[in-house]
Structure 1
Amino acid sequence: MEERLQKLLSAAGICSRRAAEGYLASGRVAVNGAAAKVGDKADPDRDTVTVDGIPLPKPDSPVWLMLNKPRGYVTTLSDEKGRRTAAELVAGCGCRVWPVGRLDLDSEGLLLFTNDGEGTNRLLHPSQEVEKEYHVSVTGDLERALPILSGPLELDGALLSPARVSVLRRDGTGGALSVVIHEGKNRQVRRMCALAGLTVHRLRRVREGTLSLGSLPIGAWRWLTPRERAELIH
């Protein structure tokens, strides 16, 4: 059945439907070798759709898995600098998957992978307000930092939604915090801590929505259960 190319690119996890319009306008998309334009349609069972010359993957059954990402891995499918990628750690899952959201090079913890384009877009859409919990080891004045972290903060010229912050541990130079947010600005928790006068030494994502990292070893991955998938993508 024919579908608009924007929908096909989104379902394949290439980009959002809005971003697909830019791909089409810049000539990056072709159908059966001919350049496509905004508004064109294709039948994925009959036509060959390519982006930058690479064919779209054929639709697969939805696959979801959770990785406990170690530090030192970038959250991309490939890296022009030759750095290790989180995708390498799930290469044995038997199908093409991509990361859902990001964890920066120095951060670790729960990172989802999937081949479900529509599910990816739903989960990442701001309207979903999916909670993400981080455990953060810091040095600095916790008493001064707590009201700053929990109060109105601004990043990139926009006010952040209030975070939920609690102390997990105190020591002579700082301690560990639980920080719960539902936005996803670049390095958001690290930047929030910097604004509050804290230095981050370890940052680990331990929960996303109802899904918890649990005891999954660093560098290991597991499939999500049907119930976990249903609760995450509702």
Structure 2
Amino acid sequence: MSELNLCSRRQADKLISNSMVYLQGKLVEPVLGQKVDANETEIKIQLQNGEYKSVGELSDDKGETVVLNKPKGFVSSQPETNKIPAVRLLSRENIFTPTQETKNILKSGNYLHFGKRFHDENGVSTLMNYAPAGRLDEDSSGLLIFTKNGVHAKNILTSLDKEYLVKVEPAQSLSRREVEMGMTSLPYPPKWDLTFLKRKGNRLWNDTKALKPVVDAEWIEEGKDTDGRWNGEGLMRIVLNEGKKRQIRRMCRELLGLHVVELKRIRVGDIHLKNLPVGKWRPLTRKERESLIPKD
């Protein structure tokens, strides 16, 4: 059930153990680790009221995935020395203006459990056992998703588009890292033509595997000098369907000759940052949760 992207392994174990899983109309014995054919489509769940639903229709994960507006200065993954993990911001105090749906999730007692995982001087309790689904480096900000749901995590990492706003300026010189990689120069910044980023075959320096074509790329704002000419600065919108480490920053320098001044993620799939304040988090809405269930 987990490998078919029907639900997480933990959720599957719980459903099978509770004798709620039916295969082609027959109750599955409560024995964990059983296998079914990869083309099986007749897996159903019997709810307490006797109603049958497919696993993907279940909605008992109301608090298993949340979204944070990550500020700069926080790292998304396990921190190195003197780095602050973004999960520390998932505190009760940082919930963004709870909607009635969020209040119901908190009142249920089944989700959004807090604990003092991090021992800092303030002793702040944060959400327990949530992991980031994707990365957003220390110098970047914006939408960062945390989840305990394996199906959600897999779909976010492998299937969904990620949209970014990228403020740039002309790169002045090679960085030490670029020199060490063997680069001798950077390309001249293009003015408005970003269409080549949508083509196949673009590569980052020394990478053997080509990048996937970007889903979309466009200039939103163009910086002007005192004579009204483009000064190389501006704001771009870039949509990716993959997420290599520091990919946008490297693309801008190595393919466009532009240095990223600010980078902000504003969307993952159908989940938008919108008016979520910096440093605040919220659970997903029902519609957003449903968008993370694989359609195939």
User: Partners in 2 of 1:88 and 1:145 — Cα distance?
Assistant: 41
Q: 1:100 aligns with which of 133, 145, 169?
A: 133
1:232 deviates by 2.4
5 Å matches for 1:143-222?
Answer: 143=191, 146-152=194-200, 153-155=202-204, 156-163=207-214, 164-172=216-224, 173=231, 174-195=233-254, 196-222=256-282
1:144 deviates by 6.6
- TM-score w.r.t. the length of structure 2 is 0.55
User: Partners in 2 of 1:149 and 1:181 — Cα distance?
Assistant: 10
| Corresponding residue of 1:86 | 86
1:124 deviates by 1.8
Does 2:148 correspond to 1:109?
no
Does 2:158 correspond to 1:139?
no
Moved more, 207-216 or 91-100: 91-100
CA contact (8 A) 2:217 2:236 kept: yes
**Partner amino acid, structure 2, of 1:161:** K
**Partner amino acid, structure 1, of 2:285:** T
| Corresponding residue of 1:223 | 283
| Corresponding residue of 1:67 | 68
Considering Cα pairs closer than 8 Å and 6+ residues apart, tell me whether 1 or 2 has the greater RCO.
Answer: 2
| Corresponding residue of 2:117 | none
CA contact (8 A) 1:166 1:177 kept: yes
1:11 deviates by 4.0
Residue-pair matches, total: 180
Moved more, 81-90 or 60-69: 60-69
CA separation of 1:192 and 1:80: change in aligned 2, threshold 3 A: closer
SS of equivalent residue, structure 2 residue 252: helix
Give the share of equivalent positions with the same residue, in percent: 37
Larger Cα Rg: Structure 1 or Structure 2?
A: 2
SS of equivalent residue, structure 1 residue 124: helix
The one-character-per-residue Cα deviations of 1:85-114 (angstroms, maximum 9, x if unpaired) are 111001435242111110011011000011
RMSD: 2.7
- Alignment gaps of 5+ in structure 2: 2-7, 11-31, 34-59, 93-111, 114-126, 171-188, 225-230
5 Å matches for 1:13-32?
Answer: none
- Alignment gaps of 5+ in structure 1: 4-9, 13-40, 43-59
CA contact (8 A) 1:193 1:199 kept: yes
| Corresponding residue of 2:154 | 121
- TM-score w.r.t. the length of structure 1 is 0.69
